[in-house]
Amino acid sequence: MTVLAPIKRRRGRPPKDQAAFSETKADLIRSGMELLTEKGFSSTGLDEILGRVGVPKGSFYHYFGSKDAFGSELIKQYTTFFNHKLDKFLLDESLAPLDRLEAFINDTIAGMARHEFKRGCLVGNLGQEMGALPESFREQLNEVFIEWQQRIALCLEQAKCAKQISVKTDSTEAAYVFWTGWEGAVLRAKLEQSDSALKVFSAYFLDSLK
């Protein structure tokens, strides 16, 4: 994600024309995404999300039915963004399959470093918080992990064909291990404010496939 450009402060009721309404809604989603990847759902207040975008207090419900509906929309948008990112790397035929996975890993490490290891993964954050979240988020989050897992599994199958990894690898299981450990590494990177866990876990994982 890129850093938000400063946004003009808006006053009064929400804009009536559709373009301005949609723009403000998109800004609220970007603001929510930034805050939730840093702090999670429970710690982020609506006022803080609105404040960053310059939307007056109390007008949130013009844009979203509830904080829960907003959270659900954020998961959807984050998933779209992240699936696109994964595809950009994992379907890049200019690289050998395993090198694509490595390129994705390196890009994510660089992204976390750019935000000083303050921002993690929205899906990991909400997964950790699940005990305090609306039950409807659970299925949505589990489905996201399955989508991501399928993408890595496909890449590992291709790495098998390219003889980069052992043909005995169970790609689906290895992809599951990858996401399990990677979310743990993102958590640890935020805590340590360092890329160490991301580098050590991914090197260990890639090495174990060979």
Give the binding site for a copy of itself (CB under 8 A).
38-40, 42-44, 118, 120, 124-125, 127-132, 138, 141-142, 145, 173-174, 176-177, 179-185, 187-188, 190-193, 197, 200-201, 204, 208
Between 23 and 192, CB nearer to a copy of itself: 192
Between 40 and 97, CB nearer to a copy of itself: 40
Backbone angles phi, psi at 60, to 5 degrees: -55, -40
Least Å distance between CB 86 and a copy of itself? 18
Between 46 and 63, CB nearer to a copy of itself: 46
Least Å distance between CB 113 and a copy of itself? 16
Least Å distance between CB 71 and a copy of itself? 13
Between 56 and 141, CB nearer to a copy of itself: 141
